[in-house]
Structure 1
Amino acid sequence: MVRGGWEGHQPVEATELFLPFLRDNGYAVRVEESTDVYADAAVMAGTDLVVQCVTMSQITREQLTGLSAAVVAGTGFTGWHGGIADSFRASSDYLHLVGGQFATHPGKEPCERRGEAEDNFLPHTISLTEAGREHPVTAGLQDFELCTEQYWVLHDDLIDVLATTTHPTRPWEPWHRPVTSPAVWTRRWGAGRIVVTTPGHSVDVLENTNVRTIIERGMLWATRTASES
């Protein structure tokens, strides 16, 4: 578990929430407070899953090369919100690895904004796709509502989208038709599996039953299996 970056996403509190789940499912968990571990080839080769919570920040070429090589060799990679979808903005190679990048989170009407995080909390729906209704990460779940940051994501078509969210047109926004963004996706990269869940701005969102279920199932699904090692 690798955590750090912007403190606004509570990287310590957020990751601590999932430690009991991992340990209860038989994981030997190692917590790292920086991405330095990615450059340690021996450690990465012996790691079956990386859970990353590092918003923005920077990554060195050696670190990214180590992370990418590990995923290609079968190490799973997962995370939520800005901790995976808004990490290392200056690295196009990281974007290529995960397949999607946070662009913005639309906000309330300007006259309602107070200069606080809540300015960007909007009610929205997370809608499962047909693939999502069958995938182990999201099977059995129904569409659900949240009131938090709604990520607008730039992405490629190599991702398998399990859930989406749609940004409507609003009089104060510049776009002219509704825009649908992936909210949950998986990606096969070499022998590795990647799962990205965009909801998760704060601990209370992570404690939402649907969000937590998706993240926890994503950890299990992304983990390297014996047949892939």
Structure 2
Amino acid sequence: MSEMHLKSPTGYRDATEIDIMREVLPFDGADVLELGCGRARWTRTIAERFPVKSVTATEVDRVQHEKNLAITDLPRVRFVYGGAENIDLPDASVDIVIMLKSLHHVPLELMDQGLREIHRVLRPGGLAYISEPVYAGEFNEILRLFNDEKVVRQAAFDTLKNTVARGDFQLEREIFFQSVSEFGSFAEFEERILFPTHSDHGVDEDLRQRVREAFEPHLGPEGARFINPHRVDLLRKPTRE
């Protein structure tokens, strides 16, 4: 596995997360587990666009989980409260595990346990799709004013390297791509990023103003648009261990 990129490497692909998943994941008839589904945006996309058998979507934010439980138009989706370190599923019960920008949110002391749990619930030959933000870009410069994720992102990558090194997984592919995030206003940025229900960043009024001053130069008539770099590690559970 290549070293963690703190500056953007060359060769990023312009793509969305769904473009990459469509390319590398065998969704047809699959039992899928999404860990850290948040507002269930990608959960819905997976359930509606791909011929999956089932989707189990977990979330550790109790407020968001309760909102997800109110979703009634996704019959193949089951929403579950809980984290990656303690997955409420039987051994070898899913074909695909997906983590979209969520591994670095697992507490440091529980990251390795999370990967062991992913290994446990995957069927032999199953795939883990781990997508993480690269520590670079204009959006990251704003984020680090109130939530500098350098340490936890490095820890997430180190955990992935360790699980491959000990043979729990084989590295199938490492993919670098860049996608766009958009905010219609600073108020939307506050709701989604600055004051989310799952985290308290300890933002007082002075810090809020500093973040606003950093954000507003990116605002145009159609809102703010950021190009964000990402890395995907596609891991396969060995068929024989």
TM class by smaller structure: 0.3 to 0.5
- Please give the TM-score of this superposition, normalised by the length of structure 1: 0.35
| Bigger Rg, which one | 2
- Please give the TM-score of this superposition, normalised by the length of structure 2: 0.33
